[in-house]
Chain A
C-alpha cells in the first residue's frame, strides 16, 4: 500500500490549492494540514526550512516543496490521468507558460491592483499584454491541456478563481469577457469542473479574508515599485 499523503497548506493560498487540484485529479487521498502562516508550525519549518512556505507535500517520509514541483511530482509518482502532456514539446510549452504566469503575470497583476495613477496605468498595460498572450494559448481549446484539465490549467488557476476576488477587493476590473472571451470561458469551465471545484476555496470566504488584508496588500507594492 502506498505511504500516506499529507499536504501542508492554507485555505486561501492559490499555490496550496494547486497541489490539492493535482491530488484530486489523480484520485490520491490525502490529509490536509491547515497551516497558520502567522504562527508557523514545527512541521512546516522542519520540512521547508529554506522557504518556510506552503504548500509542502509529505508522502511517507518524503517532503516536496514548491507548488509546480509538487504538481509534477504528483503526476509522476501516482497512477491516474496524466497532468502533463505526453509529447516533449507540449510539455516544454506547458512549463514555459506556467513559468510565464508565475514570473511575469502575477507580478504585473499585483502591481496593477494596488498602485495608482500613471504608475498603475503602466502596470495595467503590461498585465493586459500578458493576458493577451494567454488568450492566444487558450483560443479554440476547452482547457490549456486540451480536452482535459492539465498542468497548465492548474498553474493558471489563480487567474480563474482568485483574480476576480482580488479585482473586487481592489475595485479594479482587468479581465473582461469583451477583451478576453476565451480566457473567461476557460475560467468558467475550469471553476465548474467536477473535480477542480472541490479544490477551490469558497469565493465569499476568500473575499472576506482578502478584504480584511487590503491595507497589508497595498503596503506590499511599496518595495516592489522601482524607484
Chain B
C-alpha cells in the first residue's frame, strides 16, 4: 500500500491559506490499513474524503477496497493534481469529485456516507476553529465512522465536545507530523506538530 501511495504526485501549486501539503504516504498507508483491518470501515464502503487535496487518502481508500469514494476539494489546482493521480492509478471509475467548500457541503439532506476520512486544516489565526468545522461536517454526513487528524493539544476539547451517548471517540494513534517548509514565510526547514489520529463512530 505504502509503495503505491509514494507515487502520488504532490501539490503543484500549494496554497498557504488552505494549509496544503500532501499527507505522508507511509502515514496514510498505516492509518487506512488500520481502518480496514481493525474496523472493516473501507472494504465495500461508500467513503467521503473531505478536503481531498492531491488525493492521498482517496487513493488509499480505493486500494483498501472502498467501492466508491466521493472527494470534496475547494481548490481547482489541487483538483487537477487529484485528477492526474487518479488517472495514473486508473481509479477514475471508483471516484467522484465535487468542487465545494467543506464548511458548506452541497449534499442532499438525507445523504449519508458509510465512512468519512480526512486530513483537515488545523487552523491558523485567520480561520481558527476550522478543524472543528470539518469534524462537525464529517459527523453530520456519516452513518459509520469518521477518521481524522487533529492536533494532540485539541484532544481533550474533542472528547468533551463529541463523546456522548451517540458518539464514541477513540484516539487510535499519536504521531508527529513533519510539515515541510513549502512557503517562504516558514523560517525553519520543517515544523513538527503532535497529532492524534482519531476515530469517531456513531451509535
Are A and B physically bound partners? no
* Chain B interface (Cβ < 8 Å from any Cβ of A): none
